[in-house]
Structure 1
């Protein structure tokens, strides 16, 4: 499973790399810390999964989601953010995120989401 990380915190990137490294067959193929770099990188790398933060160095994850989802509907997009307010969750899920996780309470659930089969229905998103 090829994973693309979109995150602007070096500390969080380190944690994400560790989580991914513990999943058999999973690898981080690229990273971006801004909206434009994320969109261009996803187009170039064609990952299986994107782990997406909403707060980026330049731009934001909602715009990444808005622009990427229509182009690659089969791409799994897991939002992992500190912006856990219902309006962010609802917006991300409406735009097609496969999961919405809060960094402060759901970080450990990330491995479970990555291990799920890709055919999981979007209605079961958390």
Structure 2
């Protein structure tokens, strides 16, 4: 599965890359740290999954979410954030997100969901 990682922190990007080590079905095909770079990468790379931070160096992850859907992207858009999950989960889903993960507390859930999406783990 082709994954685009949209994250403004190099440290956090490296953490996610380490998290994905050993997942043979995950191929990180690119990175972006700004709204424009993310929108362009989605259009050019056509990833199966976009892992999207809401905080970016320039622009907004929420704008990326809206622009990707408006541009016809049909793959999975999963938001990664440390913002209030109760508020932002609903807001992100309203704007086309397929999932919302708290960066600090839901990394294992993210891995499980990637395994399910990649056919590596049964749904239950």
Residue 85 of structure 1 deviates from its aligned partner by 4.2
SS of 2:113's equivalent in the other structure is: helix
Count residues in correspondence.
118
- On the 8 A contact 2:85/2:102 being kept in 1, the answer is no
Matched, 1:5 2:8: no
Counterparts of 2:47 and 2:105, CA distance in 1: 26
- On the 8 A contact 1:8/1:32 being kept in 2, the answer is yes
Q: Where do 1:82-101 residues align within 5 Å?
A: 82-101=82-101
**Counterpart residue number, 1:17:** 17
Residue 73 of structure 1 deviates from its aligned partner by 4.6
| Higher mean C-alpha displacement, 91-100 vs 109-118 | 109-118
**Counterpart residue number, 2:72:** 72
TM-score (norm 1): 0.86
**Counterpart residue number, 1:55:** 55
- On the 8 A contact 1:69/1:75 being kept in 2, the answer is no
Unaligned runs of 5+ residues in structure 2 are 119-124
Counterparts of 2:21 and 2:29, CA distance in 1: 12
Counterparts of 1:73 and 1:64, CA distance in 2: 11
Counterparts of 1:108 and 1:10, CA distance in 2: 20
Deviations 1:6-49 (A, max 9, x none): 00111110111122232122111000000110001111110010
- CA root-mean-square deviation: 1.5
| Higher mean C-alpha displacement, 70-79 vs 5-14 | 70-79
Counterparts of 2:3 and 2:73, CA distance in 1: 16
Unaligned runs of 5+ residues in structure 1 are 119-126
TM-score (norm 2): 0.87
